[in-house]
Amino acid sequence: MNKRLSWSLVIAVLGFFIAFSIFTSVYRGDKPTVVTAEALAEETGNASLNGQISDPGGKEITLYGFEWGNTPSLGEEAICQDSPDENKSFIVSINDLQPGTTYYFQAFAVNSKGSGYGDIKTFTVPIDAAPTVTISSPEDNLSIFSGEIVKIAAEAADDKKVESMGLYVNDSSAASVEGDALTYDWDTSGISPGEYVLKVSADDGTQEESKLITVLVEEKPEVINLAANDQQPVIKETYTESIPVSRSVEATDTYKYPNLSKVQGSFGQFYYRDTSGGRIEIDPGWIAENIVTITLPGLNRKVQVHKDAADNFIAAFNYIKNGTTWINGKQVSLLSLIDSMDGTFVTRHVNWDSARGLSNHSWGIAIDINADDHYRYVDPNTEPYDPNLILWEKAFKPAGFSWGNSYSDSMHFELLY
């Protein structure tokens, strides 16, 4: 082999290697391999799109990010500005998205060999639920008399958090609280009768929701005519049994009924005699003229009362029959507060003690309610839900009665005229 031939061979081989390396440097390599990961979308309309360049394809990545849109044909581009990092995920945030809408997205990366794409994935922007408001007290269309206190209690719930609640009476703010529970005692003293719209609202920071109820405030009625309104006949009973009846105090057999009672206001006085155990027997003539039998509304029990007290008794029990009250956020009927009722017309001395004066029960102008646990004083401050206190305020007081609580006899309601 001559020298010239071997040099030619060396140059040819070298040339081949140079050409090959130029070829590989230009043509070797591939498009990037890209993975589309999950997206994280928020109710605010922002979403973070996640992707990963798992193989840059041996070339420099010149552009990467996501294509996205609200249809599978995408159409929008979100480019990542950071320098790409192989096998590390990248995130691009997009915003102004529509809550409740489903979006499509796809990660991509570009090198000199072309564009690589991940799968098309989807996400739906969650909807921020508005708070829900529940008014647990009072019930809608409650009707009260002006002067009563309306216990308002409301709660709110939200998919995130209830920030605040507010109470409006006919659109003017009455109370506001932070958090998801609102209670308020609405004092209706001095407000004009009419229909009031109570609105309770709750705010979760982005949305507000409210609930309305209506309360009818009525003028406190005059008590005395209620019996007539109820159209209840007052039955007058005569006592004809075995005792010969004399019809007036003057004609009374004062030999048989030697004692004369005091004058009990407009309810008058009577002759009587003492019997046993603190009892008395009253001149039947006075009873015939003054004591009538009525049926107490609500209780539907017949009782004997003084004829001039009948209207008040009927008025009180009409309040009880129709009224409700709020105890610990629960609405209960006034009627349910009565466990027992005793003694309207009972002819006796105070405490069944003949040494003491005559009980007002002898005139048929008093009634005892819930005697079992009410021969005592009720402290309105410590026992605001005592049944007799509530009955006093909502029935007997508006019907013109006095309450024995001042002398520690909270079972006893009486008329003093």
Query: At its nearest, how many Å lie between Zn ion and the CB of residue 412?
Result: 3
User: CB–CB of 342/368 below 8 Å?
Assistant: yes
Q: Which is nearer to Zn ion, 66 or 363 (CB)?
A: 363
Q: Which is nearer to Zn ion, 272 or 403 (CB)?
A: 403
Tokens 């009880």 sit on residue: 320
User: CB–CB of 304/287 below 8 Å?
Assistant: no
Q: Which is nearer to Zn ion, 394 or 412 (CB)?
A: 412
Rg over alpha carbons for the chain, rounded to the nearest Å, is 45
Query: At its nearest, how many Å lie between Zn ion and the CB of residue 264?
Result: 14
Amino acid at 179: G
- Number of residues assigned to the chain: 417
Query: At its nearest, how many Å lie between Zn ion and the CB of residue 300?
Result: 21
Amino acid at 291: I
Per CB under 5 A, residues contacting Zn ion are: 366, 368, 412
Residues 312 and 211: their CA atoms lie apart, in Å, by: 40
Q: Which is nearer to Zn ion, 61 or 280 (CB)?
A: 280
Nearest-5° Cα angle at 364, 363 to 367: 130
- What token pair was written down for 378? 């009720």
Residues 239 and 29: their CA atoms lie apart, in Å, by: 123
Tokens 């839900």 sit on residue: 385
Task: Please name which of 83, 91, 48 lies closest in space to residue 63, comparing C-alpha atoms.
Answer: 83
Q: Which is nearer to Zn ion, 17 or 407 (CB)?
A: 407
User: CB–CB of 175/184 below 8 Å?
Assistant: yes
Residues 259 and 211: their CA atoms lie apart, in Å, by: 67
Q: Which is nearer to Zn ion, 325 or 388 (CB)?
A: 388
What residue is closest to Zn ion based on CB? 412
Query: At its nearest, how many Å lie between Zn ion and the CB of residue 203?
Result: 54
Q: Which is nearer to Zn ion, 321 or 361 (CB)?
A: 361
How many helices (H) and strands (E) in the chain?
5, 27
Task: Please name which of 124, 88, 126, 130 lies closest in space to residue 107, comparing C-alpha atoms.
Answer: 88
Query: At its nearest, how many Å lie between Zn ion and the CB of residue 394?
Result: 19
Helical spans, DSSP H, in 195-237: 226-229
Query: At its nearest, how many Å lie between Zn ion and the CB of residue 292?
Result: 19
Q: Which is nearer to Zn ion, 165 or 411 (CB)?
A: 411
Residues 95 and 391: their CA atoms lie apart, in Å, by: 62
92: part of which helix (H) or strand (E)?
strand 89-94
Helical spans, DSSP H, in 214-369: 226-229, 284-290, 310-322
Query: At its nearest, how many Å lie between Zn ion and the CB of residue 411?
Result: 6
Query: At its nearest, how many Å lie between Zn ion and the CB of residue 270?
Result: 18
Q: Which is nearer to Zn ion, 334 or 415 (CB)?
A: 415
Query: At its nearest, how many Å lie between Zn ion and the CB of residue 359?
Result: 7
